[in-house]
Amino acid sequence: MDRLWTQMVRPAALDDAEGIARVHVATWRSAYRGLLPDDFLASLSESNYAERWRRVIGEGSSRVYVVDEADDIAGFASGGRERAGEIGFAGELYALYVLEGAQRHGHGRELVRAVAGALRELELPDMIVWVLRDNPTARAFYERLGGRYVRSQPITIGNATLEEVSYGWRDLGEIRY
């Protein structure tokens, strides 16, 4: 029987770092299986990611949100100022990950909505996101939200060189939730 989801998206707190790290590692291992080397995925460390997320949340330069499900983190997203100097975009959705069992319940859309709201508060009128070219589920998600293909570029993760593509919204009001 399918579980009923009562969704709560909220800003992340320092105490959420371990839960975010658990989701980060689990989603990378499921989403990127077959795309990244098995030894690289096996080497991902929840404790290393927890420290990283404590630092990110504590610095406050990124906005981080979590889906809080029954006092457990089921997904997270982060965003802020565009980081790579991409012409035409001031805001960026840095990361969006939802546990496999919690997908297709609207969590991703609500996390995007939260990040877009934060970008508006930062007076950033638009947004870009990068996704692996060979991740059709993520690409379809951003296309359903109205993201327009911007460009592609190579990316090295571990010892694998892959292709990533970007989707953008020239106006945050164009996002189709």
CA distances to 4, 161 from 1, in Å: 9, 41
pLDDT-based confidence at residue 7 (cuts at 50, 70, 90): low
Residue 151 lies inside a defined structural domain of this protein: no
Residue 52 lies inside a defined structural domain of this protein: yes
Contact 41, 32 (CB under 8 A): yes
Residue 139 lies inside a defined structural domain of this protein: no
**CA gap 131, 50 in Å, rounded:** 22
Q: Is the whole model's pTM more than 0.85, yes or no?
A: yes
The CATH number of the domain holding residue 122 is 3.40.630.30
Residue 64 lies inside a defined structural domain of this protein: yes
Structure token pair of residue 125 = 């009128």
Residue 24 lies inside a defined structural domain of this protein: yes
Whole domain around residue 40: which residue ranges?
Answer: 9-127
**CA gap 25, 44 in Å, rounded:** 6
DSSP, res 134: T
Residue 86 lies inside a defined structural domain of this protein: yes
**CA gap 116, 93 in Å, rounded:** 8
Mean pLDDT of 23-50: 97
**CA gap 66, 53 in Å, rounded:** 12
Residue 70 has a pLDDT of 78
What are the start-end ranges of the E strands in 31-147?
A: 63-69, 72-81, 91-98, 127-132
pLDDT tens, position by position, 86-139: 999 999 999 999 999 999 999 999 999 999 999 999 999 999 999 999 999 999
pLDDT tens, position by position, 48-85: 999 999 999 999 999 999 999 877 999 999 999 999 99
What are the start-end ranges of the E strands in the chain?
A: 9-11, 63-69, 72-81, 91-98, 127-132, 148-157, 160-169
Number of domains the chain is built from: 1
Residue 136 lies inside a defined structural domain of this protein: no
Residue 171 has a pLDDT of 98
